[in-house]
Amino acid sequence: MSSIKNIEMVAPRNRLVSGMPKIGIRPTIDGRLGGVRESLEGQTMGLAKTVAEFLSQNLRHANGLPVKCVIADDGCGAPACIGGVVEAARAAEKFAKEGVGVSLTVTPCWCYGSETMDMDPHVPKAVWGFNGTERPGAVYLAAVLAGHNQKGLPAFSIYGRDVQDAGDSSIPPDVQEKLLQFAKAGLAVARMRGKSYLSLGGVSMGIAGSIVDQAFFENTLGMRVETVDMTEFTRRIDEEIYDPNEFSRALLWVKENCREGRDHNPPEKQRSREQKDRDWEFVVKMAMIARDLMVGNPRLEELGYGEEALGHNAIVAGFQGQRQWTDHFPNGDFLEAMLNSSFDWNGIRQPFVVATENDCLNGVAMLFGHLLTDTAQIFADVRTYWSPAAVKRVTGHTLTGLAESGIIHLINSGAATLDATGQMTKEGQPAIKPFWEITPEDVAKCLGVTDWYPATVEYFRGGGFSSGFLTRGSMPVTMSRINLVKGLGPVLQLAEGYTVDLPEDVYNTLNERTDPTWPTHWFVPNLTGSGPFRDVYSVMYNWGANHGAVSYGHIGADLIALAAMLRIPVSMHNVPEERIFRPSAWAAFGAMDPQGADFRACANFGPLYGKY
């Protein structure tokens, strides 16, 4: 792996059309001139500048670019507070010009609620009312939130637990947490708007998640769906519509760094060495072509393919594969694994989001996770619940520690991101990092524990290669999934938990019962003792589909906040109540029944971009 030592970091860039969404800061103020407003200008604007600096210093977009904040101005470029409707209109005009996608109102004082509030129906909103005694910031917070709720424009409420002095310009830790949680979820909403889901193929093996519902993408996410038949791959391969220089470089990199594993097929079904070598060339081209289809490639225009150079502005894609493709051509596992990883022959870079079997609903869950964590996402089958008794019967081993109540085997054909090996570390613990934190040593470790097994031909008659590795234990992760239910629409479910380690012989015994050529992730959800989280079996039993998207970290609260912004109710979660953050209006739908209130609020306000 000599080439890995010199692997370069690809500079952060926006590979999609439209600028990066910004956060708009709206300092609101008591508009009474003659002493009141003048006494508050400095404190109010100071609060806005402090928040803008805090968010800019602590947030990045998933592509590594910095998050920029825009403060309302007087219409001539000078920062200005909002004391009434004219100044609110000026702020709205500036935000529209600047590409603001998230709105945050801050104030230490009383202001005129409905005259100063943000009225844009599509921009996520929050209000921080400073907890002080000199001026009633909390009174404005309550008043303006009542206006938001009455007008059907839900907003998040941010109010510090402890009273601050008027001259205290610091942001308390509890307020910091809510500011970051709101901002990151709001930026995810804004980033998805106007982008595409690229459906490469159609329905895979009758899987409901690969029945792409365009209304869901348009009305709930503000996205569009682009559909490309899989024959486009064969056309581009046959007509050589790809960068030949990149292909030569990529193939050499793959030969040096992607170790081919043992062929587990019966001897009579194994493909010849010549066929396997052709398969390697084919799957490398597939990966390049899928990427070009998603985001375009200016090199193609230089080669005379101007239309193909544009791509489809796809922030997420799915590849059907089975069975019409894989019965004849090499499978898409390499394509999916490499694009979902944070590195390839071009260097260390932002991972793509590509769903196996064109499961667009799992792809959306992966996209949510990527935009919230900035990290690569794992696509997996929620394959098997192994009870302690079953493990004991089959292996003689007694599960202990986190695994003592049983484990869920997450595994799918070798299409999972290589970041999921757990070979990267943070503070000595297995982790998945944002790409800008990844080192060449991290890349070498991930590749070093990954074998690329010749595809199991009983599944993939056309050959190909599947990545095989074992995810290290002790990683905090969150598994999530979007499901569509007729009459209800989209619902989100999630389970926070950990990956776990098993003794090698136990792992081998259990893994051989499925498919040893695929990556394995042993998952244990955090249990609450009630409902679907009363035990591990119940989590498996209540999972809504055959696939799950797995993100690094316990991000359930962030997913819940994002879902509320999009009006997607959450049917199943194990997030402690004190971590849940939703718009203030949700309490009006049943503060004593927060899950039921979530369903009622989402149904009442409806999808963010129009009736589903």
Catalytic residue numbers read 357, 381
| Helices 333-340 and 273-295: angle between axes, nearest 10 degrees | 50
Exposure class string for 55-89: b at 16+ Cβ within 10 A, else e? beeebbbbbbeebbbbbbbeeeeeebbbbeeebbe
How far apart, in whole angstroms, are the C-alpha atoms of residue 349 and residue 404? 38
Q: What is the Rg, in whole angstroms, of the alpha carbon atoms belonging to the chain? A: 25
Please give the backbone phi and psi of residue 144, each rounded to the nearest 5 degrees, phi first.
-75, -35
How far apart, in whole angstroms, are the C-alpha atoms of residue 144 and residue 242? 55
Size of the chain in residues: 612
Torsion of CA 369, 370, 373, 376, to 10 degrees: 110
How far apart, in whole angstroms, are the C-alpha atoms of residue 562 and residue 569? 10
Assigned token pair, 425:
């570390």
Neighbour-count burial of 505, counting CB atoms closer than 10 A to its CB (0-12 exposed, 13-18 middle, 19+ buried) = exposed
How far apart, in whole angstroms, are the C-alpha atoms of residue 539 and residue 198? 31
What does each C-alpha distance from 258 to 1, 194, 289, 345 come to in angstroms? 9, 36, 19, 11
How far apart, in whole angstroms, are the C-alpha atoms of residue 570 and residue 491? 6
Other C-beta atoms closer than 10 Å to the C-beta of 492 total 26
Half-sphere exposure in the Cβ direction for 204 (13 Å, CA): 24
Neighbour-count burial of 205, counting CB atoms closer than 10 A to its CB (0-12 exposed, 13-18 middle, 19+ buried) = exposed
CB 134 within 8 A of CB 161: no
Please give the backbone phi and psi of residue 565, each rounded to the nearest 5 degrees, phi first.
-60, -35
How far apart, in whole angstroms, are the C-alpha atoms of residue 268 and residue 266? 6
Type of residue found at 26: R
Please give the backbone phi and psi of residue 437, each rounded to the nearest 5 degrees, phi first.
-100, -5
What does each C-alpha distance from 92 to 25, 26, 98 come to in angstroms? 11, 10, 10
DSSP code for 350? P
Angle (CA) 184 93 126, round 5°: 30
What does each C-alpha distance from 245 to 160, 240, 252, 300, 598 come to in angstroms? 57, 12, 11, 11, 53
